[in-house]
């Protein structure tokens, strides 16, 4: 079983298209369409209705800014900014541990977002996009060492091709304290798909994750960070509580929960750059 040794080139989704935040730009290339909030707000309210309101009387009305870091592949490819050396990941996790950071579970993150819980003073949400098998091989043991949590956004349509986690690995990651959610089936540009194709991407991924992992899909991560009004409508209808873009910045209460910002951690980032992003939001 080849799970992606360090000597081969992983067919990175983000990298091959030059987007998905792999270059760490703030708004992406021409292909990235970030729908401005103003253009969707007339028809789409800022809060996701019904599925996720805080219980009356239990709301913690407090502003917060949480760094939501996102990674892709973990391996040794010094020239590829989308691949982070395991040694650097280790160094970053050691820093978080030393500084007393809390790596949130996805449930904690949502509880904080929806006002059911106050954010620990130093909170961070670690996310890994695409579900590369090297996340299992390298990232999981490193995070386990520090008893850290993370969230992986996987592509059920890629399971079985060797470069990505299979269901067995995903189950082990769940046991190790990871949350696993959907990144769609096959990593398309959702904004370029017909509504029914978008629906298929979203629903089939959720169905397979439920079937194989017993996990409900409630937080989405847009492939390449792109979406359109139809994507938002589909996610709202299905009661998704949050969705992540690749817009750079802290995640803050002022953001639409279906258009949350994150912070890209690049393979070429020094520890100083990592700390800068973590503490300054970019």
Adjacent-strand bridge partners of 179: 151
- The two structure tokens encoding residue 90: 């280790």
Is residue 150 a contact partner of residue 127, using CB atoms and an 8 Å limit? Answer: yes
201 binds Zn ion (CB under 5 A): no
The residue whose Cβ lies closest to Zn ion is: 129
Binding footprint of Zn ion, residue count (CB under 5 A): 4
DSSP bridge pairs for 132: 164
- Smaller CB distance to Zn ion: residue 123 or 181? 181
Stretch near Zn ion under the rule CB under 5 A, chosen from 99-107, 113-121, 216-224, 265-273 = 216-224
When the beta carbons of 127 and 255 are compared against Zn ion, the nearer one is 127
Structural Rg of the chain based on CA atoms = 17
Nearer CB in complex with Zn ion: 56/160: 160
Residue 49 DSSP SS3: coil
Strand partners, 125: 68
By C-beta, is 114 or 178 nearer to Zn ion? 178
CA proximity to 227, closest of 264, 262, 183, 179: 183
Contact 267, 88 (CB under 8 A): yes
In terms of CB distance, is 112 or 225 closer to Zn ion?
225
Q: To the nearest whole angstrom, how small is the minimum distance from the Cβ of residue 40 to Zn ion? A: 22
Regarding 130 and contact with Zn ion (CB under 5 A), the answer is yes
Scan residues 4-33 and list those touching Zn ion (CB under 5 A). 20
* Beta carbon of residue 12, minimum distance to Zn ion (angstroms, whole number): 9
129 contributes a contact to Zn ion by CB under 5 A = yes
Q: Which range, of 79-87, 160-168, 220-228, 242-250, touches Zn ion by CB under 5 A?
A: 220-228
Q: Is the dihedral of CA 115, 118, 121, 127 positive or negative?
A: negative
Q: For residues 207 and 189, give the distance between their C-alpha atoms in angstroms, rounded to a whole number.
A: 20
Q: Closer to Zn ion at the Cβ: 20 or 269? A: 20
> In the complex, what is the shortest distance from the CB of residue 183 to Zn ion, in angstroms, rounded to a whole number?
6
Rounded CA separation 138/154 (Å)? 16
Enumerate binding residues for Zn ion (CB under 5 A).
Answer: 20, 129-130, 223
């Amino acid at each position: 079983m080849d799970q992606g040794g360090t000597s081969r080139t992983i067919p990175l989704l983000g990298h091959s298209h030059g987007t998905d935040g792999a270059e760490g730009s703030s708004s992406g290339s021409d292909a990235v369409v970030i729908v401005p909030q103003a253009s969707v707000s007339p028809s789409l309210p800022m809060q996701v209705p019904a599925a996720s309101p805080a219980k009356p009387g239990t709301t913690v009305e407090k502003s917060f800014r949480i760094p939501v870091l996102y990674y892709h592949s973990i391996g040794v490819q010094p020239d590829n900014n989308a691949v982070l050396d395991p040694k650097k990941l280790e160094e970053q996790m050691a820093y978080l541990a030393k500084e007393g950071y809390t790596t949130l579970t996805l449930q904690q993150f949502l509880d904080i977002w929806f006002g059911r819980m106050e954010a620990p003073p130093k909170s961070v949400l670690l996310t890994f996009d695409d579900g590369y098998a090297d996340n299992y091989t390298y990232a999981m043991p490193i995070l386990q060492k520090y008893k850290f949590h993370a969230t992986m956004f996987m592509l059920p349509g890629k399971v079985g091709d060797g470069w990505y986690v299979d269901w067995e690995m995903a189950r082990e990651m769940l046991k190790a304290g990871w949350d696993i959610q959907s990144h769609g089936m096959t990593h398309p540009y959702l904004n370029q798909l017909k509504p029914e194709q978008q629906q298929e991407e979203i629903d089939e991924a959720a169905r397979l994750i439920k079937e194989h992992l017993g996990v409900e899909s409630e937080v989405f991560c847009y492939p390449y960070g792109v979406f359109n009004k139809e994507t938002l409508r589909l996610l709202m209808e299905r009661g998704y509580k949050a969705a992540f873009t690749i817009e750079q910045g802290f995640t803050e209460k002022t953001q639409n929960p279906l258009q949350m910002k994150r912070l890209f951690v690049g393979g070429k980032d020094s520890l100083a750059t990592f700390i800068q992003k973590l503490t300054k939001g970019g």
